[in-house]
Amino acid sequence: MPPVDTQVVPVRSIRSLDLELALDPPVRFGPVVHGRRSIRLLVIEDGEGHRGWGEVSPLPSFSRDTPADADEAMERARSQLSGDGRTIAAWVECSDPDRTAPAWRFGWETALLRLAADRSGSTFRALAGGGAADRIPSSRLLTRFDPDMIRDALDKGWASFKWKAGRGTLDHDLHVLQSMSGLLEGRAKVRVDANRGWDLEDALRFADRAPQDVVDYIEEPLRAISDLSAFVRESPLPLALDETLREEESSALSELADVFVLKPTLTGGVTENRAWADRARETGKRLVISSAFESEAGLLTLLELALALDISEPAGLDTARYLVGGPGGGRLLPDGPVLNPGEVSSSIEKAVLDTVG
């Protein structure tokens, strides 16, 4: 654990604001199409004029935790506000001792780090690990096959696409991927996310027949985690794991992956994601940061965290387009193929602090 977690911070107040944003177009999470997304912003203060903020937004169908778990964790933190202060690690531990509220830990730990940064004239990013780069490419999210959007994105310089497969027939998916391949002309790669839609036979059939040079990796192909090792033995294409990294057996299963997809809102706070990043480096895995449809407050935090963890693969943060509104109106992050948090951090921070008030 890096020294910052042992830094003592007094927290004197915790305020939160819940917002309901529209999803336009509506987005399918698991079995359900959602037209709305609930988000929670958190602002904490030390009683000396310093503040920190975070976002706590469990995602229905994907998160194991609910807003009620976040409420409980927040109440546990609130009951500790009158003492001398605690280390950041102790604040995280005391609010969620059983580790049942990852979305809370993400928002709370980032708020604590931002408060510590404000108190010491530092930045969240520096305290979360620093990192070398100041920008990261973005992966364009295709929730459906849209040739005009693909052409437009290629013209603007996008070199990575994330496409949701596994929802229609296998032949249809392969046909769509062929069409995409024709449009891309080698200028971009496609991450195929099946969200566990296939059995082993279909997953392998897809992997064999897919245009090999177009697919960056196949993410979560399989309904049954017990088939993952057979898939890896036979598949010519790399395997990315997302949902599986949050399974109880994640430690052993993660060895099968070529790529770890980290969703901090679903996995937990900075500490847990840093542990996954360390494990990825030790075992030669690729690392991708990905959103869970947070507002721009959470997306900025994810972007800063990706850079702090020295993640250079295109970020899966192209979800802001689907959310209507949010702090500052929700149009502060630019819609481009490269993300630079330095350009937007102060305007998003101001919007969050003004919104929570």
Q: Are the beta carbons of 170 and 140 closer than 8 angstroms?
A: no
With CB under 5 to 8 Å by kind, the binding choice for 95 among ligand OSB, Mg ion, none is none
Q: Which x/- pattern, by CB under 6 A, does the window 153-192 give for ligand OSB?
A: ---------x------------------------------
Q: Residues 204-210: contacts with CB within 8 Å, 24+ apart? A: 204/231, 204/234, 204/235, 205/170, 206/165, 206/170, 206/173, 206/174, 207/231, 207/234, 207/235, 207/236, 207/237, 208/236, 209/174, 210/174, 210/177, 210/237
Tell me the residue number closest to ligand OSB, measured at CB.
316
- The backbone region for 289, taken as left when phi is positive above 0, alpha when psi lies in -120 to 50, beta otherwise, is beta
With CB under 5 to 8 Å by kind, the binding choice for 58 among Mg ion, ligand OSB, none is none
What are residue 278's DSSP bridge partners? none
- Which one of the spans 21-29, 81-89, 216-224, 266-274 is the region binding Mg ion (CB under 5 A)? 216-224
Instruction: Please provide residue 97's backbone torsions phi and psi, each rounded to the nearest 5 degrees.
Output: -60, -30
Decide: is 193 part of the binding site for Mg ion (CB under 5 A).
yes
Decide: is 62 part of the binding site for ligand OSB (CB under 6 A).
yes
Residues 46, 118, 173, 193: which binds ligand OSB (CB under 6 A)? Answer: 193
Decide: is 293 part of the binding site for ligand OSB (CB under 6 A).
yes
CB of 314 or CB of 341, closer to ligand OSB: 314
With CB under 5 to 8 Å by kind, the binding choice for 296 among ligand OSB, Mg ion, none is none
Q: Are the beta carbons of 107 and 17 closer than 8 angstroms?
A: no
Decide: is 296 part of the binding site for ligand OSB (CB under 6 A).
no
Residues 242, 272, 296, 313: which binds Mg ion (CB under 5 A)? Answer: 242
* Site size for Mg ion (CB under 5 A): 3
Decide: is 125 part of the binding site for ligand OSB (CB under 6 A).
no
Burial class (CB in 10 A: 0-12, 13-18, 19+), 183: middle
240-269: contacts with ligand OSB (CB under 6 A):
242
What are residue 247's DSSP bridge partners? none
CB of 113 or CB of 177, closer to ligand OSB: 177
- Per-residue b/e over 230-265, b at no fewer than 16 CB within 10 Å? ebeeebebbbbbbbbbbeeebeebbeebbbbbbbbb
Give the residues lining the site for Mg ion (CB under 5 A).
193, 219, 242
Give the residues lining the site for ligand OSB (CB under 6 A).
29, 59, 62, 139, 141, 162, 193, 195, 242, 290-293, 316, 319
